[in-house]
A = this chain, B = another copy of it.
Amino acid sequence: MRKIDTGLPSSYSRRDFIQLGAISAATLALQNSDTVAAASHADSHRQTHAQTMIDVPYAAMNPRIGLIGTGGRGTSLLTEFLASDGQVVALCDIVPEKAEHAQSLVQKSGQKAPTLYTNGDHAYESLVSRHDIDFVVIATPWNWHVPMAVAAMKAGKHAAVEVPAALTIGDCWNLVHTSEETRRHCIMLENCCYGYNETLVLNMVQANLFGDLLYGEAGYVHDLRELMFSNAGEGLWRRAFHTRYNGNLYPTHGLGPVANYMGINRGDRFEYMVSMSTPARGLDAYRRAHVPAGDPKYSERYINGDMNTSLIKTAKGRTITLKHDTSNAHPYDRYNSIGGTKGVFEDYPPRIYFDGPNGKDAWTDIDPFKEKYESPLWKKEGEIAKKLGGHGGMDYIECARILYCMRNGLAPDMDVYDAAAWSAPWPLSLQSVAQGSAPAKFPDFTGGRWKQRNGSPIGQLS
C-alpha cells in the first residue's frame, strides 16, 4: 500500500494518540514544514489514465455495510442507517466495549449480530477483506480516514468517510486515483449538505432567486474546548492536532453546502485560496482555568491559531470566506451564506434579503419560502428525520439518501472529487499561513471535467 502521509508518526497507536503531546516543538515544526512542502507540489502529482468516477452509477444493490469506528459519531451513523433498514454485517473499533454496544443496537433492530473486529489498529483490514460487504463506512480519527478508505476500495468496496476526507493534497489525490482505478466510489459524509436550511437554499439558488452568484461565507465556529479537554471521545485525539498544525482543521461543514450552491465541480471549481490565523490563545487559557497543575496536558504547546480565516477564489471569480475556530467562546456558527446580484441569504439565525419585496435594509424570515422551496428530501422524510434527531435530522436524510442511491443504482450525490476539493483547504490553509498568507492553488481533481458537468449535487428520495 502506498505510504499515507498524515503528518503523524506512522507507528502511532490510536489509543496512544494523546501521549504525543510530549513530542518536542522542533519535531512538530518539522512535521508542519513537511506538510507544507508536500502541498506545494500538488500540481506536479502524477496523472493517471483511469477513467473518471463522475456520474458513475452504483450497481443497484441493498448494500451490506461494514462500519469502522463505533464511538460517538459511528454509533450515530449506525442508528441512522438502521433507521433506513440498512444491513450491518460487521463492526470495527479498537475499544471492544464500544463495538459490543454498537452490536447490541444492530441486534435490537432485528438483525443478527454483526461480526466484531477489535484486535488493534489494523483490525479494519480484516473487515474490509470480507466477501459479504459492499460498503464500508468510516468514522475514525481524521488521520485514519485515507488508509481505511483506500483499503476498502482496494478490497472492492465502496467507501464513505467522515469529514475531513484527507489531510494532505497527496492524500486527496490518493483517494481520487484509488477510486478511479478500483471503480469504487469514495464519498465524504458531509451531513451539513443535507441540512434543512442548506437544501432549502440550494433549491432557491437553483430557481435563480439570488441572481448571478457572487460570494459565500462558510465556517466552523464551535466552542469545543470542553470536549477537547475531556478524557474521552474526541478529547482523546482532536486536541493533539492543535499542537501540530496552524490553519483550518475542519473546513468541510460550512464549505460543502456553499460549494453546492455555487456548483463547484459542476461548472465552477475552487481555484486558489489565501489564509490567515490569529495567535493561539484559547486552549492555553482554557487549560489554565480548568486543568489541575501537574496534568500531563501541560506538556502540550498549542500552535493552531484560534481563528483561521481564508478566502477562496473560484474559476468563475466568485469568492468564499471560510472560518475555523474551535478554541474560544463563540456561539455555534457555520455561516452558510450565499449572495448574488438579486439578494443574499445568511444563517445563524437564517435570514434573507431580496431586491424589491423587502423593506430597504431589512432582513426577513425564511418561513415564507419553505412551502415552495423546501427540499423534497425533507418533505418526504422530514418528520422521521427530526424524530431521530441526529444534528437536527440532517444525519438521517444523508444516510437515507445514500442508501437510496445505492439501492436504485444511481450515482452518489457527491463523489470523491467533492471530497477532495472540500478537504483541500486543510493542507492549503497550512501552506498559506506558513507562507505569510501567500496564495495556494487548488489542484483540479476532476482533470478538467468540472467544465462540462452540470446538474444538482443533491437528488431526491423518490
Contacts and interface: CB of A to CB of B under 8 A. Distances in A.
A362 B278 contact: no
Given A281-B212, A281-B341, A341-B282, A276 B319 contact: yes
Interface string A323-344: 0000011111000000111111
Interface stretch (A112-120, A177-185, A305-313, A392-400): A305-313
Q: Is the interface of A mostly helix, strand, loop or mixed?
A: loop
Interface in A357-415: 360-363
A328 B339 contact: yes
Interface string A275-316: 011110110010000000000000000000111010101001
Contacts of A281: 211-212, 214, 341
A121 interface: no
B317 A344 contact: no
Nearest to A273: B437
A454 B285 CA distance: 25
Contact of A331 (B321, B329, B361, B439): B361
A145 interface: no
Given A215-B307, A307-B214, A309-B311, A278 B331 contact: no
A212 B331 contact: no
A241 interface: no
A330 B344 contact: yes
A274 interface: yes
B328 A354 contact: no
B307 A329 contact: no
A355 B343 CA distance: 34
A158 interface: no
Indicate how many identical chains form the complex: 2
B278 A317 contact: yes
A405 to B, nearest CB: 33
Contact of A276 (B212, B306, B311, B438): B311
A353 interface: yes
A223 interface: yes
A157 interface: no
B361 A318 contact: no
A144 interface: no
Given A212-B279, A331-B361, A437-B439, 17 more contacts: A212-B285, A223-B360, A274-B276, A274-B311, A276-B319, A278-B319, A279-B316, A282-B341, A285-B341, A309-B311, A309-B319, A328-B344, A329-B344, A329-B354, A329-B355, A332-B361, A438-B438
5 contacts: A212-B281, A277-B317, A279-B316, A313-B437, A330-B339
Interface of A: 211-212, 214-215, 223, 272, 274, 276-279, 281-282, 285, 305-307, 309, 311, 313, 316-319, 321, 328-332, 339-344, 353-355, 360-363, 436-439
